[in-house]
């Protein structure tokens, strides 16, 4: 059986391209759940220097296959099973969020529920101009459970996160870019190329420094400004022991700004 998620490197082994392909609507079901867990494990193990998440088809995802994922738990009123399943979802989102390299998500068409939560767990979101987003779990009496509510609030404030989640609406790329939930909006026909080029450029850059940036921001989110400030010296100071920094400094002195080559070491 073909997995609903595949990882490819192609001609650029530094960049992992993660493609969701589970037609017709890339719905989240038990098969997708297992595939996402396997994908995250592979990324943690193989440590590419960057990853691009994208999807095949007319939409990134139409949401969750309720019959497969939630209905049996709901019919049985099984609180323990629901709690355990949501704990797995939260862990998956957190593992993506903490990958020690840059991650980019390319959004087109509909990007609903789990897919938007996965996007929010990535570092940067690029959207086609006709893309739309929704966390519509409230329509079946649920709330998002992969960390999307929290991460949306971090990006654009609690008020907008509440409005987005509680109304279960669908919001276009332009509005999401204004909110700060989407980092860049591009014409639909430029989405794939733009997202790939952004991911490639980040993967070819100072990825150890990028990982330090992510760690500082994660500390800010978890423990506040004072703790992030207190830990910045320790986190950033380690970069002076990297080959990338030494090589970039030598390159700057010898050839000027912007000509360094980075190895991620």
Q: What is the pLDDT of residues 30-74, one digit of tens each?
A: 999 999 999 999 999 999 999 999 999 999 999 999 888 888 888
Write out the E strands in the chain: 5-8, 15-20, 50-55, 103-107, 110-112, 124-128, 132-134, 171-172, 184-186
Average pLDDT value over all residues in the chain: 95
Residue 1 or 41, more confident? 41
Tokens standing for 143? Answer: 């709330």
pTM: 0.95
The answer, yes or no, to whether residue 189 has pLDDT greater than 80, is: yes
Task: Show the tokens assigned to 133.
Answer: 């987003």
Q: What angle, 0 to 180 degrees and rounded to 10, lies between the N-to-C axes of helices 148-156 and 158-167?
A: 140
Q: What is the reported pLDDT for 59?
A: 98
**Which of the pair, 104 or 256, is modelled with greater confidence?**
104
Higher pLDDT, 47 or 255: 47
pLDDT of residue 234: 96
Active site residues: 117, 137
């Amino acid at each position: 059986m073909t997995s609903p998620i595949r990882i490819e490197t192609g001609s650029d082994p530094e960049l992992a391209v993660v493609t969701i392909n589970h037609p017709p609507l890339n719905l989240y079901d038990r098969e997708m759940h297992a595939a996402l867990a396997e994908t995250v494990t592979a990324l943690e193990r193989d440590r590419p220097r960057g990853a691009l998440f994208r999807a095949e088809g007319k939409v990134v995802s139409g949401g969750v296959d309720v019959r497969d994922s939630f209905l049996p738990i709901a019919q049985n009123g099984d609180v323990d099973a629901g709690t355990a399943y949501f704990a797995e979802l939260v862990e998956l989102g957190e593992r993506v969020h903490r990958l020690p390299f840059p991650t980019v998500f390319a959004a087109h068409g509909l990007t609903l529920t789990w897919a938007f939560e996965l996007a929010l767990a990535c570092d940067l979101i690029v959207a086609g101009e006709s893309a739309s987003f929704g966390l519509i779990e409230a329509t079946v009496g649920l709330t998002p459970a992969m960390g999307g509510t929290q991460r949306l609030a971090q990006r654009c404030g609690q008020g907008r996160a509440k409005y987005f989640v509680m109304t279960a609406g669908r919001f276009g790329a332009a509005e999401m870019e204004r909110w700060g939930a989407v980092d860049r909006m591009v014409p639909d026909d430029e989405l794939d190329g733009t997202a790939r080029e952004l991911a490639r450029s980040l993967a070819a850059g100072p990825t150890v420094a990028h990982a330090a940036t992510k760690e500082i921001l994660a500390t800010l989110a978890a423990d506040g400004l004072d703790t992030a400030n207190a830990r910045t010296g320790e986190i950033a100071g380690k970069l002076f022991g990297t080959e990338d920094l030494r090589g970039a400094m030598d390159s700057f002195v010898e050839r000027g700004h912007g000509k360094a080559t980075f190895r991620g070491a």
